Chains A and B, each alone.
Chain A
Amino acid sequence: MASGALAGGGVSRAGGWGARRRLAKGSLVLPAFGWTAVFFVIPLILLIAYSFGHIDIITFTVQWGWTTRSYSQVFQSLYLSAIGRSLLLSSGATVACLLAGFPVAYYISLQRGRRQLILLVAIIVPFWTSFLVRTYAMTNLLNAHWLGSGKLLDTPFAVGLGIFYTYLPLMVLPLYVALERIDPALRESAADLGAGGFSRLRRVIIPLAMPGIVAGCILVGVPSTGEYVIPSILGGGKVLMYGNVVADQFQSTGNYPFGAALAVSLMAALTVVVLAVRRASARREALA
């Protein structure tokens, strides 16, 4: 099948030659699958394996086994506050990104020509800028006189603001792409907010843009739940998020099984959420 296309019209190279060509073509994807298998899939499997094991942190010997002790530790109320805080901050920041990003994406999609290009560049440049620099820029902002000279720094709010600020471009881009695909006439009539435009927005545009909304929310919400750098810089040691707890197990406590259990739980939870969201959105599209 695959080799048929390249064999071109007329000359049919059947049998071995075709098979060899298929093999050669398959090898194109070998680096990708190979790298993913070795450096992505195997580590995840290792995490799962460790999560059911036990480690002696004095001598650092690992005992494999099938104990769920690490998992029960995760679900003790002791850690639920870190988990809850992470979910709250990342979902709050996601919603904020959506509320701020949608109008911006919408506006850009209405523009034409050079103006649109400039606006797109204006979104891409922050996206391209070092995310460490952008997080640090928030420190500066929150230290400003007119924002309380640092009173807001080292708070959950600061961390949420940091997530919002660094992930915002990641929300705008897929939203823009989705909105671009909607019939311009529809878009512009909804922009005329006076004459029933707003309801048109709500009932027509938003459902049509839903794939972009879903994409943006996943691209922001999922990685931000495991954030590690932003709470470290903006949290003043008082705002420990899930990512920090995981990192601590590997870097401070040395309790690999517990860290692995935390990581696996996070991965499982996020996978469930993503699958559910995508299924719901696919069903909605099918019905539309």
Chain B
Amino acid sequence: MTQHPVLPMTAISRRDLLRRGALAGVSIAGLGAIAGCGDSNSTAPASAASTTSAANAPLTGHLEFLNYPQWIGPHEVRDFERAHPGVTISQNNSAYTNSSSGVAVTVAQNPDQFDMLLADGAVSGQLLAGGFIAHFDFDRIPNISLVDPHIRKLYPFGVPTDFGKMGIGYRKDLVKPAPKSWADLWDMAPKYKGKIVAYNLDRDMFGPALKYLGYSANTHNVAQLQKAKHALIELKASIKAFKAVDIASELVHGQAVIAMTNDYDVALAQTQNKNIGWILPSEGTSGYLEGIAGVSRSKHLPEVEAFANFHLAPANYGSFVATTATSYTEPRIRSRLPKAIADSTTIGAFGLEKVEFEEFLGASTTQLITNLWEQVQAA
């Protein structure tokens, strides 16, 4: 197993994580309540003022951003380019395949190609171990102060932008009784055969399977992982399709009645159909905490930092959250969100004490999980 430096995050004990998660939950929801003031205008124009950083040199260059498809406000890139003529950004979605470590692989095998990427804890850990993560000068990213400090500690790799958790979205009118746990899902699956959609990503699916069996989502134990694989194969028989995006949208028109996917996905669907419910299963679940990190070999680190700062500016960050309906890391952004998202109990820090954020598990376990997921897909 490869040696990797002990990160603040891996040094945290599990109990610590849960405690901090609970605190984060309180602070996010609490602060949001305090700061909330009803006005949910999320289409406020980006203000150039929020992008000024300590940098004095004019920013210039081309940034290649490895990002999840459409995981950004609709006008952010355009507005950033306008505020900083001389900088262009292009987004690359090619890495998002059926393996969450695929992102790390894409960067590691071609480290000169990218300047920044969206990376969760596991991917960031993998890249850090390979020396591919850039060291941010946070003096140039003043907007980082808007991010909840507990979350900031959990994601030291760059600027944490969002987090999410796996759960069960379902049609309240078509699925009775409502599922309350992963065990319920596995039990009721045959009854709704062909009407269940799930996520096509190895760790996001293995997390719930491991929780279903009572194991940790970050386990290294091969026997446990094999059992999880078998559980997934069992579930596969009832699944309509494994999709990479727009999973919960199938619930909107009833093409599927159960969706095993992330919270933001269901939250977005809930804005289109009031009959969609969400459950964070009782056994607990896996989740991810991600953000924008710089690639160490980038020649445009100041520009990357400027963009990170820009992204965190309330107007831009608000448009990002409004577009993606993701759980957010800036507590005060709630006032800018459309009501449906601001009031959602699906996203946000609810139940965070039951969420295990994914960590980097070392090279061999990471590969193993990807291979096991392939076997599920091939079964």
Chain A residues proximal to chain B, CB less than 8 Å: 56-60, 78-79, 81-82, 85, 150-151, 153-154, 236-241, 244-245, 248, 251-255
Contacts and interface: CB of A to CB of B under 8 A. Distances in A.
Given A236-B242, A237-B98, A237-B200, A255 B377 contact: no
Contacts of A151: 194
B223 interface: no
B363 A58 contact: yes
Interface string B335-379: 000000000000000000000000000010011001100110111
A248 B105 contact: no
B374 A238 contact: no
Given A238-B377, A245-B378, 14 more contacts: A57-B366, A58-B129, A58-B130, A59-B129, A150-B255, A236-B241, A236-B243, A238-B239, A238-B241, A238-B242, A239-B378, A241-B378, A248-B370, A253-B99
B13 interface: no
Contacts of B99: 248, 252-253
A85 B378 contact: yes
Contact of B97 (A59, A236, A239, A251): A251
A60 B130 contact: yes
B378 A237 contact: no
Interface in B179-206: 194, 200
A57 B365 CA distance: 12
Nearest to A59: B130
Nearest to B362: A58
Contacts of B104: 254
Interface string B91-109: 0000101110110111011
Interface in B234-277: 236, 239-244, 255
Contact of B367 (A57, A81, A154, A251): A57
B2 A82 contact: no
Given A58-B108, A252-B102, A254-B108, A237 B243 contact: yes
B4 A58 contact: yes
Interface of B: 2, 4, 95, 97-99, 101-102, 104-106, 108-109, 126, 129-131, 194, 200, 236, 239-244, 255, 363, 366-367, 370-371, 374-375, 377-379
Contacts of A240: 374, 377-378
Contacts of A236: 240-243
A102 B379 CA distance: 33
Contacts of B374: 82, 240, 244-245, 248
A236 B374 CA distance: 13
A252 B106 CA distance: 7
Contacts of A237: 98, 200, 241-244, 377
13 contacts: A56-B363, A57-B105, A57-B367, A59-B129, A59-B131, A60-B130, A82-B378, A154-B241, A236-B241, A248-B374, A252-B105, A254-B104, A254-B108
A170 to B, nearest CB: 26
A81 B375 contact: yes
Contact of B375 (A56, A78, A153, A254): A78
A244 B126 CA distance: 24
A143 to B, nearest CB: 10
Given A58-B4, A82-B374, A236-B243, A255 B108 contact: no
The 6 A-B residue pairs whose C-beta atoms are closest, nearest first, are A237-B242, A236-B241, A254-B105, A252-B99, A252-B102, A82-B378
Nearest to B372: A78
Nearest to B194: A151
Contacts of A251: 95, 97, 102, 105-106
A87 B197 CA distance: 27
Nearest to A253: B370
Contacts of B375: 78-79, 81-82
A53 to B, nearest CB: 15
A15 B314 CA distance: 84
Contacts of A252: 97-99, 101-102, 105, 370
Contacts of B2: 56, 58
Contacts of A255: 367
A70 to B, nearest CB: 12
Contact of A60 (B4, B95, B108, B242): B108
B367 A248 contact: no
Contacts of B236: 238
A7 B355 CA distance: 84
A252 B371 CA distance: 10
A248 B130 contact: no
A263 to B, nearest CB: 15
Contacts of A244: 374, 377
Contacts of B379: 81
A124 B8 CA distance: 63
Given A238-B242, A248-B98, A254 B378 contact: no
Contact of A254 (B4, B109, B131, B243): B109
Contacts of A254: 101, 104-105, 108-109
A254 B106 CA distance: 8
A273 B2 CA distance: 41
Contacts of A248: 97-99, 370, 374
A270 B349 CA distance: 54
Give the most central of B97, B99, B371: most A CB within 10 Å: B371
A255 to B, nearest CB: 6
Nearest to B202: A252
Nearest to A77: B375
Contacts of B363: 56-58
A185 B4 CA distance: 77
A81 B242 contact: no
Nearest to B242: A237
B108 to A, nearest CB: 5
A150 B254 CA distance: 13
A85 B375 CA distance: 12
Contacts of B378: 79, 81-82, 85, 239-241, 245
A60 B239 contact: no
Contacts of B239: 238
